[in-house]
């Protein structure tokens, strides 16, 4: 009897410890996508602790490939980086849209992400937020910088910055009169185009102050006056504009590049229930507005506008005319062979002197 009582006590203590520990959800996402105040609010409502690992598209793919989709309950890749990866590696599970509150999403954006993440007749993501990349310019120092070609302009020698990533290749291709998206199905033609863009970047390498690798580094370079012209995301330009009206985001003449970041559930997620709860929680208008007001990114949340700060709405109206909006070039799904071509060009630029 004594042994039975001791065993029962041990089970009780273990159970109590589990209750105290509570549920945990592992989130793989971008910096800023899970504000602490929303993590705290979610825990207060559900008892679920959200543990965040910051990442980017390339790292998300690498982490989930290495574990075959294990280690995280929810990830937030861009919608154009899902279908080709899913076809090859199977790192996500189909999204169960019946578990999402559909009225929380902008209908057209939800439909677009479903279509663009479809593999074998099943879709693998729901939209979270969207934005553009274009130019962030100090108008006082570089008043003529209106398109990506400014990144190659000797007038701004030593004051140029951009990421050495695929968006820069694509942006310059558009600015130089080509349509890289139209060549996704022709690897020979795409290789020739990327070779041309790579040569342009190598030729203009002496103009570059730095290749920024995170948003904070870019912001600091612009604040200090080290950089006058950069290719960057709209929200970074708007943050700088709050501090210095001379600096702002500009939708380039050849078109800003538009992206949509999503929610996608890894193939071997352990706490799928928590993942769906977090998605519905984050898409409630009052919560989505917390994210947008902090990070300045638009969300795919339907009905968020009444909760947005006036200054946030003003940013969008200042940077985008109706013509600029119509010129946004939305990223289509990326074929795997295209990324390999781009990777070779980026390595070549990086290694060049």
Domain 24-130+258-324 has CATH 1.10.3720.10: no
254 in Cβ contact with 147 (< 8 Å): yes
Q: Is the pLDDT of residue 19 over 80?
A: no
Summarize the confidence of residues 47-65 as an average pLDDT: 96
**How high is the pLDDT of residue 113?**
94
Q: Are strands 48-54 and 160-162 parallel, antiparallel or unpaired?
A: unpaired
- Categorise residue 321: left if φ over 0, alpha if ψ from -120 to 50, beta otherwise: beta
Q: Position of tokens 């919608």?
A: 79
Q: Is the pLDDT of residue 32 over 90?
A: yes
Summarize the confidence of residues 27-38 as an average pLDDT: 97
- Indicate the burial class of 21 (C-beta count within 10 angstroms; 0-12, 13-18, 19 or more): exposed
Backbone angles phi, psi at 233, to 5 degrees: -75, 155
* Residues in CB range of 352: below 8 A, 6 or more apart: 202, 205
Sequence-distant contacts of 146-149: CB under 8 A, at least 24 apart: 146/250, 146/252, 146/253, 147/175, 147/252, 147/253, 147/254, 148/172, 148/174, 148/175, 148/231, 148/252, 148/254, 149/175, 149/176
Q: What letter does residue 331 receive in the DSSP assignment?
A: P
> What is the per-residue pLDDT across 61-72, written as a single tens digit (0 to 9) for each?
999 999 999 999
Token pair listed for 33: 């996508």
Between 2.40.50.140, 3.40.50.720, 3.40.190.10, 3.40.50.300, what CATH number should domain 131-257+332-351 receive?
A: 3.40.190.10
Distance CA 194, CA 81 (A): 19
281 in Cβ contact with 296 (< 8 Å): no
Summarize the confidence of residues 344-348 as an average pLDDT: 97
Residue 74, strand partner residues: 27
For residue 133, the tally of other CB atoms under 10 A from its CB is 25
Residue 134, strand partner residues: 232
Is the sign of the CA dihedral 45, 48, 54, 55 positive or negative? negative
Q: Is the pLDDT of residue 12 over 50?
A: no
**How high is the pLDDT of residue 33?**
97
Summarize the confidence of residues 318-345 as an average pLDDT: 90
Task: Describe the chain by its helix, strand, coil percentages, rounded to 5.
Answer: 55, 20, 30
Lowest-confidence segment of 153-157, 250-254, 335-339 by average pLDDT: 335-339
Percent over 70 (pLDDT), the chain: 94
329 in Cβ contact with 258 (< 8 Å): yes
Would you list the domain boundaries of the chain? 24-130+258-324, 131-257+332-351
Do 24-130+258-324 and 131-257+332-351 have matching folds? yes
Nearest partner of 134 among 227, 28, 37, 231, judged by Cα = 231
Q: Is the pLDDT of residue 13 over 70?
A: no
Average of per-residue pLDDT values in the chain: 92
**How high is the pLDDT of residue 66?**
96
Distance CA 45, CA 184 (A): 45
Q: Position of tokens 């203590």?
A: 13
Q: Is the pLDDT of residue 102 over 90?
A: yes
Q: Is the pLDDT of residue 326 over 90?
A: no
Distance CA 250, CA 216 (A): 19
Q: Is the pLDDT of residue 42 over 90?
A: yes
* Residues in CB range of 151: below 8 A, 6 or more apart: 160, 162, 168, 172, 204, 207, 229, 231
- 315-327 core/surface letters (b: 16 or more CB in 10 A; e: else): bbeebbeeebeeb
> What is the per-residue pLDDT across 193-244, written as a single tens digit (0 to 9) for each?
999 999 999 999 999 999 999 888 999 999 999 999 999 999 999 999 999 9
Is the sign of the CA dihedral 32, 37, 42, 47 positive or negative? positive
**How high is the pLDDT of residue 27?**
98
If pLDDT is split at 50, 70 and 90, which confidence band does 334 have?
Answer: confident
Distance CA 129, CA 203 (A): 36
Token pair listed for 339: 């990324």
**How high is the pLDDT of residue 108?**
85
Task: To the nearest 10°, report the CA torsion of 73, 75, 79, 80.
Answer: -110
């Amino acid at each position: 009897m004594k042994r039975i009582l001791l065993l029962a006590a041990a089970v009780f203590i273990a159970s109590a410890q589990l209750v105290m520990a509570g549920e945990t959800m592992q989130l793989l996402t971008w910096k800023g996508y899970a504000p602490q105040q929303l993590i705290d609010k979610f825990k207060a409502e559900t008892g679920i602790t959200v543990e965040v690992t910051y990442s980017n598209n390339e790292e998300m793919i690498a982490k989930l490939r290495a574990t075959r989709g294990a280690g995280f309950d929810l990830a937030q890749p861009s919608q154009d980086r899902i279908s080709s990866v899913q076809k090859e590696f199977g790192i996500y599970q189909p999204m169960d849209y019946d578990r999402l509150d559909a009225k929380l999403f902008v209908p057209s954006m939800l439909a677009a992400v479903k279509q663009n993440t479809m593999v074998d007749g099943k879709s693998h993501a729901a939209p979270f937020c969207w934005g553009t990349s274009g130019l962030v310019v100090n108008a006082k120092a570089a008043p003529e910088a209106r398109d990506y070609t400014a990144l190659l302009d000797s007038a701004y020698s030593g004051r140029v910055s951009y990421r050495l990533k695929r968006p820069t290749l694509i942006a310059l291709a558009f600015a130089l009169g080509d349509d890289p998206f139209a060549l996704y199905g022709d690897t020979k033609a795409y290789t020739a185009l990327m070779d041309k863009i790579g040569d342009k970047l190598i030729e203009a390498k002496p103009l570059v102050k730095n290749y920024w690798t995170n948003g904070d580094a870019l912001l600091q370079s612009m604040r200090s006056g080290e950089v006058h012209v950069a290719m960057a995301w709209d929200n970074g330009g708007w943050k700088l504009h709050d501090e210095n009206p001379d600096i702002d985001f500009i939708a380039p003449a050849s078109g800003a590049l538009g992206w949509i970041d999503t929610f996608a559930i890894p193939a071997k997620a352990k706490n799928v229930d928590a993942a769906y709860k977090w998605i519905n929680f984050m898409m409630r208008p009052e919560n989505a507005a917390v994210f947008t007001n902090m990070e300045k990114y638009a969300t795919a949340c339907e009905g968020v506008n009444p909760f947005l700060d006036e200054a946030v709405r003003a940013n969008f109206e200042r940077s985008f005319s109706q013509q600029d909006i119509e010129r946004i070039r939305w990223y289509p799904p990326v074929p795997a062979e295209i990324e390999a071509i781009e990777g070779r060009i980026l390595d070549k630029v990086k290694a060049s002197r």
